[in-house]
Structure 1
Amino acid sequence: MGLNMSDVAAFSGLDESTVFRLWDNAEWLDRVSGRSLQSLMASIPGIAEYSRAHAIRKRLDGLVTDLGSEGLAVDLDALEGSPVPQQLLLNALEAGLRIVRGEANQRTSSFIARFWGREPDTALTALYSTERGQGLLTDPAKLFESSVELAPRLNRKTYSFHSILALNILTHQVSKVTGSLEADLGFEVPGRQTAFMMRGVVMGSLISSGDIELAERYRRELDATPVYAALEEWSFPTYMRDGRISSDFTLPSSLSLRNTANEVLREIADYNDAYVYYLASTYIPLALKRDPAFGGRLAELTRALEERGADCEDRRIRETCNTLVRRLKELP
């Protein structure tokens, strides 16, 4: 715009001496105060956009360097082409750095636990992805190995809510990529930790392998173990932010599953047959007990199950979908 120092000072309300001190300083953005920066962003075109881009680039450059020193190369083209907000992708890269460094402490557990949720999980999925052009790392093999090594070391307390979430998230991501139940992830941990970690492994393996026998074993386990069923019911609504993430793994008695319904409908359309079997045989019946209206999407759910079930080759899946469809049609 061709503004000079006096113009900037006049428009922003800053003293000319302040503007003069920053004018020729290449590091001005690191030196300007928060209040002065707000004034500049609100009055001078381009400052807000530059500030955002500078902050992201500075953090990215640091993460690229640090990850490189640990043997992990960042695919910058994949990062820049991703539809996921870059801030979330940078958070995922930082999680990867902590994992590959083996930082087995409460801060790491707490940081990884923040990825419980649809949007941050999408970023973490990009970190672990092996798909060229989609994965944030050119070769995430070392990340897989480090995750398996780190997971049991995060379990240093008998009960820690963040460590439970972190264990679930790590095991889910690894099993989703490998498609197998890693033996090293099967370490013994008590109570809810065992149940929630098992869910993470099973969901990841189902998504990757499409193993209907695994889905059936998981269903039987939930039928036999109340704590598994309780955690299963808690997982979707908190992941989709229909319910508050609570350290006691409880949900309010009255809960509308609007966001959960949207996600389940997406998964019915996009995921493999074994995962659809899990939804129809295990999760959706639990969800209907909590919210019989299924977030106001019963009609769409009925139609989606009817159409998807008809396309499944396995008779068990077809029959399970048909049974649930008949039940849904009988609801008032």
Structure 2
Amino acid sequence: MSFPADEPLLFTPLPLGALAASAMLSMADVVFLSKLPASTLSRLWRNELWLDRVSGATLQQLVAVVPGLSEYVTRRSYGSRLGNVLRECDEAGLDISNGPIGALLTDGRSAQHVATALAAASSMMRLDSHAAVSNLARCWGVSQDLALDALFSAEPHGLVADMAPLVERGLQVIDILDGGSNSLHTTVGYGILVHKLTKLTGAVPADTSPDARERNSAFAYRSGTIGVLLRSGDIDASIAYAHSLDQNVLLRRNELWSLTSYYADMPQSPDFSLPARGGLHNTEAEMSKDIASSNEAYLHYLVTSAIPILLEHDRLFGAATGEIARQLRHRLERAVSDRRVEAAISTLLTSMP
């Protein structure tokens, strides 16, 4: 296995002297500008592993005078972890595609999230269910999901060249956990795995039920349902989910927690509690994008389940900017093919403040 095309920037350590030279600075220049002792710099100047040996105070003074040094420190920090995770994936038998990793990093998306997603993959391959769900749970969020979607996508955009081994191990982890516990990380990690495998394969890989009585089962049921909507565009599945919300208070609470924590408007509380109040600005902005771009089954879910739940929590949700209503009207103007979706949008618009 080889590393991404930008490996030198990510993985190859450079001497402090080389970094200074790229900024047209000699050691004498750095001594003068930083006021550091020449003896201190001489120990670091030609050492490729100088970053492992430098003190925090010295590093601060160097960053202040050597252009580009802070970026190198950042890239070396996450590059070291990413390199270790890539080696773990290789040892676990995963063939990682270099192109998509490079694209994610070049696009400015977080290398930290890419590393966490790949750590989850290597854990699944080892059937380490605890590590798998622990890493997956740290990928809960709209920005983190970019890396996770790349992990669970087929080529040419997926991180894994051959998805079959990862899917097989993922299904085995689902069986090992068998729903998992009600702890925050197990519940979220297990639910994410159910969702991603459903979205990838088209089949919910676990026994989920709308008659959920525990947080973990409620989260897993929602995860599988959203996967079905995104994969198959089945509006009947959205109708069934909305009906389930009407019948189950726990599902309604889970829906609100899932939306607001995913969009980082509310914290991921260990007991899944929710503050009585809190702005939903991130949720509104991201949901507006979803309304504009989603398939009609997911759009139906938004207007019959997600937005009504958010309006119950905050009656003025979407009213400040009007963007939610504007995007809904725009979808109607573009012509919705299914009359059930058209009717649901019209009904919601009349009820919004």
Q: TM-score, normalised by structure 1?
A: 0.89
Write the mapping of 1:231-246 to structure 2, written as runs, cut at 5 A.
231-246=254-269
Cα shift at 1:210? 0.4
The CA deviation string for residues 24-61 of structure 1, in whole angstroms up to 9 with x for no partner, is: 22222222223322221111223223223333433333
Write the mapping of 1:147-158 to structure 2, written as runs, cut at 5 A.
147-154=170-177, 158=181
Equivalence for 2:67 = 45
Write the mapping of 1:160-239 to structure 2, written as runs, cut at 5 A.
160-182=183-205, 185-186=206-207, 191-239=214-262
Distance 1:131 1:293 in 2: 42
Equivalent of 2:46 in 24, 35, 57 = 24
Distance 1:187 1:321 in 2: 28
The answer (yes or no) to whether the contact 1:261–1:297 under 8 Å persists in 2 is: no
Distance 1:256 1:56 in 2: 32
Q: Does 1:130 align with 2:154?
A: yes
Equivalence for 1:247 = 270
Distance 1:239 1:245 in 2: 9
Equivalence for 1:317 = 341
Distance 2:60 2:332 in 1: 55
Q: Does 1:272 align with 2:295?
A: yes
Give the number of aligned pairs: 325
Uncovered stretches (5+) of structure 2, i.e. residues with no partner: 1-22
Cα shift at 1:245? 1.6
Identity of aligned residues (%): 34
Coordinate RMSD, CA, aligned? 2.3
Distance 1:44 1:141 in 2: 47
Counterpart of 2:125, as a letter, is: V
Distance 1:222 1:284 in 2: 12
Distance 1:181 1:154 in 2: 15
Change over 3 Å in CA distance of 1:88–1:153 after alignment to 2: same
Q: Does 1:36 align with 2:46?
A: no
Higher helix proportion: 1
Equivalent of 1:11 in 33, 39, 43 = 33
Cα shift at 1:139? 2.3
Change over 3 Å in CA distance of 1:4–1:158 after alignment to 2: closer
Change over 3 Å in CA distance of 1:167–1:156 after alignment to 2: closer
Q: TM-score, normalised by structure 2?
A: 0.84
Distance 1:240 1:39 in 2: 37
Equivalence for 1:256 = 279
The answer (yes or no) to whether the contact 2:182–2:214 under 8 Å persists in 1 is: no
Cα shift at 1:158? 4.4
Uncovered stretches (5+) of structure 1, i.e. residues with no partner: none
Distance 1:149 1:7 in 2: 59
